[in-house]
Structure 1
């Protein structure tokens, strides 16, 4: 017999202290209630009820089994409710902020698909590299990037990571031969910065420390796609996330330098304001983004 159904019958009979009352509550016959209880007792090889002509009570093992069945049935119901909500009751507005280019290239297509699946869900998407305050601006979800795990006053999940890549144009390699990291110090570099401050490129060493290198500063830009264009134009060497330059490398428009060198991973995280229970709309979108990246 269906074990889960038998548990429901058992719990109902225990609460109502009557097979007849349990049968009426469940819409089945009293003999069927007895079959479910007998099936459980045969399976467990224990007596769940002490029954007389006047009353019935749970045995000691029956009380233990009742408590565990209640927990199992509650978990099953909660799981069913969650899936039902995720499938049918996703509605309302969802405000999401994310890095501009990463969001447009990789996340937006996923959310466009989500918009097709959840007709009652309204998206408000904000592409911003300046990382607006999540709470002040009432965002439901944010995507952040960084080289280390983010620890803020928010709930978070690691989303994905991409290695950083050293690359330049084929024409640039004809002018400057770069076969190891030390040679980067002597070539023109293209740097990303919003403040104008140049930060070193970082590479892990075998001893666990990090090697930091700053090439000759040729250009500083606050847009990583513009840096990619500058690298392709032969203006210097760039240090960029692999997701951004993969297509240009595959097409031969850029060349990866020192490909055998281990490089740092650029991590992306999902963040949202902490609450006792994550709204179904946010859970659904988080799962869709995680499964597609």
Structure 2
């Protein structure tokens, strides 16, 4: 019985993530022919095609998609074996891919990562900021920060802290249009909608006494980012709902007022989310521990 071609499996996992043999060669410091030969060698051994190739790109075949989780597991286990051989945390090295929301990443995550890089100089960080929800496994992320009420899934999650969300408007807007006393009044008000929700045109709200209500607000402004809403809200252009890390300063200064006390969009929390495997490289665990302390 021949041993598995571990190198080829690891190269296959990297190629599936990067979508290019040239990019794989660059990341792994190999020649492009070496990468191509490894994939061909693996395909010959398996008796199936793993990638469809064109002059411009590669894409996974149906067999490649089915075998990718095994390749990812082989590559991950190899990385963890190498790190387990290192004797001190000062020797931790390698890359961690992290996804985070744009506004929170700039305002809160960036300084924590700066401190982490000082403490772990051999670990490199690849952070992607976007309010879109990424697929951690398919896109090759080690970790993601999510600010949401997490739905049931196979992903592993570590709650960091609860967050408060507020319905907000400027004093000027409220002076001109009055304070809404019930969420149903939002159907006739200028509202700011967050478009990354599954159905942004409908607000599913929970009340202070356990009430549940669905409102179709009147849309004045819509965006996939909450930070861009603040100037227009402060200028008195409508009513929005934002998490505390975005709007607390404006509330404290009086630039915005909270309305509809007790009404909210479910439970809002700051969470670290990871792929389903219970095994993680030591460098990822180091970042998780650092973020739990720095963001709590």
* Residue aligning to 1:53: none
Matched residue, 2:116: 114
**TM-fit CA distance, 1:124:** 0.7
Deviation per CA, 1:105-150: give whole Å up to 9, x if none.
Answer: 2222211110111111111110022222212221111122322x33
Q: Retained in 2: the 8 A contact 1:196–1:220?
A: no
TM-score calculated relative to the size of structure 1: 0.64
1:246: Cα distance to partner? 0.5
| Residue-pair matches, total | 210
Instruction: Tell me, yes or no, if the aligned pair for 1:85 and 1:280 is still in contact at 8 Å.
Output: no
Work out whether residues 203 and 210 of structure 1, in 8 Å CA contact, stay in contact via their aligned partners in 2.
yes
Gaps of 5+ in 2: 1-82
Cross-structure match for 1:265: 267
Cα distance in 1, alignment partners of residues 200 and 276 from structure 2: 35
2:230 alignment partner in structure 1: 228
Please say if residues 202 and 210 of structure 1, whose CA atoms lie closer than 8 Å, have aligned partners that are also in contact: yes
CA distance in 1, matches of 2:192, 2:272: 29
Residue 95 of structure 1: how far off its partner (Å): 0.8
> Partners of 1:292 and 1:85 in 2: how far apart?
25
**Tell me, what secondary structure is at the counterpart of 2:116?**
helix
| 1:39-78 alignment, distance < 5 Å | none
Coordinate RMSD, CA, aligned = 2.6
Question: Are the structure 2 counterparts of residues 85 and 216 from structure 1 closer, same or farther at C-alpha, using a change threshold of 3 Å?
Answer: farther
Cα distance in structure 2, aligned partners of 1:180 and 1:162: 23
Could you tell me which residue of structure 2 aligns to residue 168 of structure 1? Answer: 169
Q: Unpaired runs of 5+ in structure 1?
A: 1-80
Deviations 1:80-102 (A, max 9, x none): x99x9674232211110111112
Question: CA 1:248–1:116 in structure 2 vs 1: closer, same or farther (change >3 Å)?
Answer: same
Label 1:220 to 1:86 Cα distance change in 2 as closer, same or farther (>3 A). farther
Larger Rg belongs to: 1
Distance across 1 between alignment mates of 2:91 and 2:125 = 15
* TM-score, scaled to structure 2: 0.63
Task: Give, in whole Å, the separation in 2 of the partners of 1:85 and 1:180.
Answer: 62
- Equivalents in 1 of 2:141, 2:287: separation in Å? 14
| Cα distance change of structure 1 residues 86 and 145 upon mapping to structure 2, 3 Å threshold | farther
Partner of 1:198: 200
Query: Quick one: structure 1 residues 170 and 212, their matched pair in 2 at CA, closer, same or farther if it must change by over 3 Å?
Result: same
Q: Which residue of 2 aligns with 1:25?
A: none
Counterparts of 1:129-208 in structure 2, within 5 Å, are 129-147=131-149, 149-182=150-183, 183-194=185-196, 198-205=200-207, 208=210
1:276–1:195 Cα change, 3 Å: closer
Q: 1:202 to 1:143 in 2, by over 3 A?
A: same
